[in-house]
């Protein structure tokens, strides 16, 4: 016979124990992970609660609920896996009054109780809710006060020209020393951008030239960050905004105050150069950038004397009968920055003339162009056949590896023999991989000579951007040179110069 007491067995309360430590409190007595775990375990045992699980957020702030273990605990609560949430103190759960109200409503929704082992809260009455809200407001105020103190200290360091820590940007060692090669790349990126290229085009130009960002390719994002960073102009900044003055979408980030200070580190740009760059970025982002000033050959034009990139500039304004006039020209970056090259400047119309004359010379004998195109087409087919052959050889190596492994398992060959065989196969695989890469690389360099056939005829009918796009599509590099050192020609006349070399994409 079943008695009444047998039928009304009390269900054991299942407790979820939440533990949080922030980086600045991990070492404090009682707030360490193990300290909280021991005290909360003892408290749960004293209440005859069964511990369902420990939810531990190590090194996370309580400013919001974006914490991995917090998210896991709330998901388990929705699945009704525990009945009570136990914390050491309320501020371990949250320091935001808004988040506290949201959590309490969610706990009520799923019938889950909340308990602090060191504080007495009663959330079933209006007075109890007022008290827990008051404690939560005090925790939020404490967090805000700490944040303000830290912010003030950092701002004071910046104002004094001292960097508040963190990883130094590309171009510097972590000891603060300037890396000459990387500094040269940063200057070249600025020149390319100022010549009219966009972030993505600048990245592609640098990657094509093999001028990588510490073994990684440049992207439009890294180019934009590099150009916008005031550290390169000797300025220390805290607070962040996206390039060209466009703040990120978050309302909170829009209110971030930027504080600037003059640093003691070696700069790459002058402050005047940085201001010029920022003004140019602002004009482009706000629609004030005119396509008329597009430099057709920026990103591909190279100096025939020193090999450096040539970038576009505008002459000072001249007033004529037809109005104000500014002429586009190209200058060697080494001449501009260090006066280490004496190649004269070239007007854009002069470069245009040289390139079109070069193309027309190729068109003199169309049969040669067609013959070369056919040769390249055949060469392409041969290389593709060779790549397929090497890939089949890789498959055979895989089969042989499996055979050696099978023979070793069956005791047909010794450990020393299989090591020797596998080493031989690894060496063969590496050699074949290198052959495949070399073949694929040579394929990517085959010029589209047939596209040059109508370039000179179509050129006059293209607008500025179409000319720029076509040049960037067809050519990897255009190298120009002249035997002259000083140019003193007649107005609107071209001086003696030539295309030294052209590399096709």
Question: Which residues are known to be catalytic?
Answer: 22
Q: Are strands 323-325 and 318-320 parallel, antiparallel or unpaired?
A: antiparallel
Which residues, 6+ apart, have CB-to-CB distance to 461 below 8 Å? none
Q: Helix or strand or coil: residue 379? A: helix
Q: Helix or strand or coil: residue 262? A: strand
What is 343-376 written as a DSSP string?
Answer: PPPEEHHHHHHHHHHHHHHHHTTHHHHHHHHHHH
Separation between Cα atoms, residue 491 and residue 503, nearest integer Å: 31
Separation between Cα atoms, residue 243 and residue 375, nearest integer Å: 47
What is 1-34 written as a DSSP string?
Answer: ---HHHHTPPPPPEEEEEEEE-TTTTTSTTTSHH
Q: Is 158 exposed, middle or buried (0-12, 13-18, 19+ CB in 10 A)?
A: buried
CA distances from 365 to 359, 386, 499 (A): 11, 32, 19
Partners of 309 in the β-ladder? 302
């Amino acid at each position: 016979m079943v008695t009444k007491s047998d039928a009304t067995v009390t269900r054991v309360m299942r407790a979820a124990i939440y533990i949080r430590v922030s980086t600045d409190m991990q070492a404090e007595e009682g707030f360490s992970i193990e300290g909280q775990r021991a005290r909360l375990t003892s408290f749960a045992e004293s209440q005859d609660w069964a511990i369902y699980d420990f939810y531990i957020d190590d090194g996370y702030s309580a400013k919001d609920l974006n914490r991995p273990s917090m998210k896991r605990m709330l998901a388990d609560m929705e699945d009704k896996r525990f009945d009570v949430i136990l914390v050491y103190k309320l501020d371990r759960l949250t320091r935001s009054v808004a988040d506290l109200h949201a959590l309490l409503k969610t706990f009520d929704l799923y019938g889950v109780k909340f308990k602090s082992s060191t504080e007495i809260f009663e959330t079933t009455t209006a007075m109890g809710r007022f008290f827990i809200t008051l404690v939560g407001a005090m925790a939020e105020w404490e967090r805000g006060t700490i944040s303000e103190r830290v912010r003030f200290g950092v701002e004071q360091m910046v104002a004094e020209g001292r960097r508040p820590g963190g990883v130094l940007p590309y171009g510097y060692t972590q000891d603060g020393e300037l890396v000459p090669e990387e500094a040269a790349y940063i200057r070249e990126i600025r020149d390319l951008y100022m010549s009219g290229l966009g972030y993505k085009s600048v990245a592609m130009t640098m990657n094509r030239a093999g001028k990588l960002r510490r073994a990684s390719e440049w992207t439009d994002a890294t180019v934009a960050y590099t150009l916008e960073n005031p550290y390169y102009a000797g300025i220390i900044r805290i607070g962040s905004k996206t390039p060209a003055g466009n703040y990120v979408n978050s309302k909170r980030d829009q209110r971030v105050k930027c504080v600037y200070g003059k640093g003691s580190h070696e700069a790459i740009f002058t402050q005047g150069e940085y201001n010029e760059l920022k003004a140019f970025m602002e004009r482009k982002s706000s629609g004030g950038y005119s396509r008329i000033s597009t430099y057709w050959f920026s990103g591909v034009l190279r100096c025939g004397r020193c090999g450096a990139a040539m970038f576009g500039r505008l002459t000072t304004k001249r007033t004529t009968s037809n109005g104000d006039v500014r002429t586009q020209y190209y200058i060697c970056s080494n001449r501009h920055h260090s006066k280490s090259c004496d190649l004269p400047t070239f007007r854009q119309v002069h470069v245009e003339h040289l390139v079109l004359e070069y193309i027309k010379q190729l068109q003199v004998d169309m049969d040669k162009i067609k013959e070369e195109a056919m040769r390249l087409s055949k060469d392409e087919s041969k290389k593709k056949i060779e790549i397929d052959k090497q890939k089949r050889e890789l498959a055979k190596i895989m089969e042989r590896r499996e055979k050696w492994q099978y023979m070793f398992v069956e005791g047909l060959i010794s450990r020393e023999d299989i090591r020797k065989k596998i080493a031989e196969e690894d060496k063969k695989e590496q050699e074949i991989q290198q052959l495949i890469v070399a073949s694929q690389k040579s394929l990517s360099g085959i010029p589209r000579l047939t596209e040059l056939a109508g370039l000179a005829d179509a050129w006059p009918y293209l607008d500025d951007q179409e000319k720029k796009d076509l040049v960037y599509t067809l050519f990897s590099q255009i190298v120009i040179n002249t035997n002259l050192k000083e140019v003193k020609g007649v107005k609107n006349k071209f001086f003696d110069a030539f295309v030294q070399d052209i590399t096709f994409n």
